[in-house]
Amino acid sequence: MDDSQILKGVLEGCVLAVIARGETYGYEILSVLDGAGFDDLMEGTLYPVLTRLEKKGLISCRKAKSPFGPMRKYYSITEKGIVYLKEFHSSYAKITAAAQKVFDGEITKAKENENG
Amino acid sequence: MADRYEYYVGQLEGDYLETFKKIQRYANVSIIGKKYKREVLSSILDTFLNAQSEGKDISKVVGKDTEKFCRQCFGENPLREHILPVFEYMLPFALAWLVILAWNVFDIIVSRNAVGDKIGFFHIAVSLDIPPFRLNGIGISLIAVLSYVIFWIMNGMIKKMLFGKHAKNIMLLQCMKGVAFVLCVIVGIVADTFIPFCTPAWIEFTLLTPPVIIVYGILKIYDYFKNRTLKSK
């Protein structure tokens, strides 16, 4: 099954949650998400998300030289981003709880049909 | 600065170096803003150096489809990706027209000093005359627009070939771009010399140079303040 549609819905919130932990950069965000189980995520997918978050004013960025040499963008969450993240958490919890109820309901109904 | 960039690229090895060079070539044939291109390439270079130091496979960073990776990296910013680069491309032509104007004004001033006649500014013919040929604002506009369209088509073909089986033909296509540009210049000069456009001088003054320089200036100022506002949030 293609997970991209589901991923689209949660990725912005997850990226914002990583940035909320402290100032970070693209590769570090990827590594954290990879460790959490988002193993198909590439930098190319992350870039548009970071650009959108910056455009919306949810994160700010500064440029500095990385330890490896090239210029690197470091991202921090803004106050607007913190508010947005709280709202995202709340919406996400509500939607996943509702979806779980539906899935549980479906399974229960399927079992009843089998036994009946 | 450019030397340090090349030094960092030189730190890449194997698949990382090969893939980065392909991404660089993709960026070079994409019509995107120069500053934006540098920013994205620098970020990708840093990521590659990071991942290489951890011994990760390139596919973990870029995925299986490098072309898709490039499209995703160089997207999401319409102003910097599509609009600004068009005017950045037109700018040298607009400035070339300015040089011709300056030459004509200088010529008029010298002639007026010699002859003592008064000539109105809008009666100055802005053209480069190398008999029997001439090149003015209309010809330069034609060269700019024609070459932009041709390069846009050829760059699209090069991007497809970069990640395909015909990568060795890219050099041939790059040479053809040079030939195509020369043909555009010939078309512009021929059009100006032999087609009687009969345009008044004020049209040639307002064609290409003032709109390009003004719009380019506005876009750059807008881009600067927009990014400054984002950074200060």
Q: What is the pLDDT of residues A29-78, one digit of tens each?
A: 998 998 888 877 777 788 888 888 988 899 998 988 888 888 889 999 99
B121 and B168 belong to one structural domain: yes
B116 and B198 belong to one structural domain: yes
Q: What is the CA radius of gyration of chain A?
A: 18
Final residue belonging to a domain, choices B27, B43, B76: B76
B88 and B71 belong to one structural domain: no
Structural domains counted in chain B = 2
Q: How confident is the model at residue B231 (pLDDT cuts 50, 70, 90)?
A: very low
Q: What is the pLDDT of residues B169-196, one digit of tens each?
A: 777 877 888 888 898 888 888 887 887 6
Residues of A within 8 A of B11 (CB-CB) are: 68-69
What separation, in Å, do the N-terminal and C-terminal C-alpha atoms of chain B show? 29
**Omega before B132 within 30 of 0, i.e. cis:** yes
| CATH code of the domain containing B8 | 1.10.1900.10
Q: Where would I find the beta strands (DSSP E) of B86-167?
A: 127-130, 133-136
B88 and B145 belong to one structural domain: yes
Q: What is the pLDDT of residues B14-23, one digit of tens each?
A: 999 999 998 9
Write down the residue that tokens 């009666």 correspond to.
B123
What SS3 class is residue B124?
coil
Residues of B within 8 A of A80 (CB-CB) are: 233
| CATH code of the domain containing A67 | 1.10.10.10
Q: What are phi and psi of B207, to 5 degrees?
A: -80, 130
Which residues 46-105 of A are in CB contact (within 8 Å) with B? 47-48, 51-52, 54-55, 57, 60-62, 66, 68-73, 78, 80
B55 and B110 belong to one structural domain: no
Residues of B within 8 A of A69 (CB-CB) are: 4, 7-8, 11, 46, 49
Final residue belonging to a domain, choices B76, B92, B112: B76
Final residue belonging to a domain, choices B76, B95, B120: B76
DSSP class of residue B47?
H
Residue B79 contacts A, CB cutoff 8 Å? no
What SS3 class is residue B170?
helix
B25 and B127 belong to one structural domain: no
B208 and B176 belong to one structural domain: yes
B172 and B94 belong to one structural domain: yes
B107 and B151 belong to one structural domain: yes
Using CB atoms within 10 Å of the CB of residue B13, give its burial: 0 to 12 exposed, 13 to 18 middle, 19+ buried: exposed
B44 and B90 belong to one structural domain: no
What SS3 class is residue B211?
helix
Q: What is the pTM of this model?
A: 0.63
Residue B10 structure tokens: 């030189």
B39 and B143 belong to one structural domain: no
B50 and B111 belong to one structural domain: no
Q: Are the CB atoms for B62 and A80 separated by under 8 Å? A: no
Most confidently modeled of A103-107, B66-70, B117-121? B66-70
Domain of A48, in residue numbers: 4-115
Structural domains counted in chain A = 1
Domain of B138, in residue numbers: 83-232
CA separation for the pair B184, B222 (Å, rounded): 32
Q: Are the CB atoms for B91 and B213 separated by under 8 Å? A: yes
Contact B50 A73 (CB under 8 A): no
